[in-house]
Amino acid sequence: GAVVSQHPSRVICKSGTSVKIECRSLDFQATTMFWYRQFPKQSLMLMATSNEGSKATYEQGVEKDKFLINHASLTLSTLTVTSAHPEDSSFYICSATTSGRDNEQFFGPGTRLTVL
Amino acid sequence: DQQVKQNSPSLSVQEGRISILNCDYTNSMFDYFLWYKKYPAEGPTFLISISSIKDKNEDGRFTVFLNKSAKHLSLHIVPSQPGDSAVYFCAALQSNSGYALNFGKGTSLLVTP
């Protein structure tokens, strides 16, 4: 149980385009989803926290107009990188928690974004 | 500002020996700590965790020790196996503050035959 999927696993896009990444909890209802970003050989940095049906809470330094997060249902959160630029190239990972198991975060497999 | 620190970027251990991965934190409000194992281009996989009310938690070959006064925790793997080779991330959270994880930079463990 507690499986989180991400789609796509890899995406290559041109500079200026927008890219949407989906994060789904497959067998549980995710009350909270988190989006992380990892640069090569760096830590996972929290970008934002989203609760179903409410606006995401962004970490300091993360542009909310640049990284649009939607958590429309208890099993789906999306991250849209708008007008992507090469510096947005990174590994994006989502995680999810469920009510009653708040200390446990279940991670997705990640999405490798490359912006040309 | 990095609140969780893993000061050893890499560690090499012989198969069968003990691997000790260390982690320090600065925020005394953290009350739950986790270790994750990660391969390149994959999401982290949960290994073991410990609550701040405990000082030790054991699960098979993995044991986590917590020293709250020193704000230090460590992951012991014994005996180490080549399949343990991966990057290990220490993470901490403050349970009354949204459960967001604060990660260290990771330690790359190589277990040699």
Percent of chain A topping pLDDT 90: 58
Cα–chain center distance at A29: 16
Give the whole-angstrom CA distance, residue B85 versus residue B108. Answer: 7
Number of Cβ within a 10 Å radius of residue A113:
21
First and final C-alpha spacing in chain B: 38
Instruction: Assign A1 a pLDDT band (cuts: 50, 70, 90).
Output: low
Residues of chain A positioned with their CB less than 8 A from the CB of B32: 103
- Single out the residue of A84, A4, A43 nearest to residue B106, CA to CA: A43
Residue A49, helix vs strand vs coil: strand
Asked if residue A42 has pLDDT above 80, the reply is no
DSSP state of A100: T
- pLDDT by residue (tens digit) across A74-99? 899 999 999 999 999 999 999 998 87
Give the whole-angstrom CA distance, residue A41 versus residue B79. Answer: 26
- pLDDT by residue (tens digit) across B2-54? 899 999 999 999 999 999 999 999 999 999 999 999 887 788 888 999 999 99
A90 touches chain B (CB under 8 A): no
Residues of chain A positioned with their CB less than 8 A from the CB of B89: 43-44
What local confidence, expressed as pLDDT, does residue B70 receive? 97
